[in-house]
Amino acid sequence: DTGVSQDPRHKITKRGQNVTFRCDPISEHNRLYWYRQTLGQGPEFLTYFQNEAQLEKSRLLSDRFSAERPKGSFSTLEIQRTEQGDSAMYLCASSSQTGSEQFFGPGTRLTVL
C-alpha cells in the first residue's frame, strides 16, 4: 500500500497527558499537511510542511501543539497537556510540489477523558 498512513488509528488519553501522532506520506510527495476534524464538521487546517520546513501554521495550533518533519519524510504531531477540547480526528495529507491535489490518510481519532 503506497497511500498515506497514520499511527495510531485511535488514542484514548487522560486530560493533562501528552500524545504524539505519526504520519507517513506518499513517498514522492514533498508537501505534508495536518488537519483537525471534529464531529459533524469539515477538516480545519493546522499546519503544513514542504520537505522539512514548516511553512504555515494556523492560529488553531496553540503553544501546546508542535509538529515536526525532521528528514522531510514522516511527520509527528505532538499535543502536550491534552484538554477535552482536543478530542477530534487528526488527519494527515500529502501532495506533490503543486500542492493542489492532496491525498489523505485514515486519520488518528483522539479521545481525551
Partner 1 sequence: AQTVTQSQPEMSVQEAETVTLSCTYDTSESDYYLFWYKQPPSRQMILVIRQEAYKQQNATENRFSVNFQKAAKSFSLKISDSQLGDAAMYFCASFLIQGAQKLVFGQGTRLTINP
Contacts to partner 1 by CB under 8 A: 31, 33, 35, 40-45, 48, 55-56, 58, 89, 91, 93, 99-107
Shortest spacing between CB 48 and partner 1, in angstroms: 6
Nearer to partner 1, 55 or 113 (CB): 55
> What is the Cα–Cα distance from 96 to 22, expressed in whole angstroms?
19
- Is 49 or 112 the residue whose CB approaches partner 1 more closely? 49
User: Are 30 and 96 in contact, with CB atoms under 8 Å apart?
Assistant: yes
Q: What is the largest CA-CA distance in the chain?
A: 39
Residues 64 and 90: their CA atoms lie apart, in Å, by 15
Least spacing, CB of residue 2 vs partner 1, in Å: 14
- Nearest distance, CB of residue 24 and partner 1, angstroms: 15
Q: Which is nearer to partner 1, 22 or 80 (CB)?
A: 22
Q: Are 38 and 88 in contact (CB under 8 A)?
A: yes
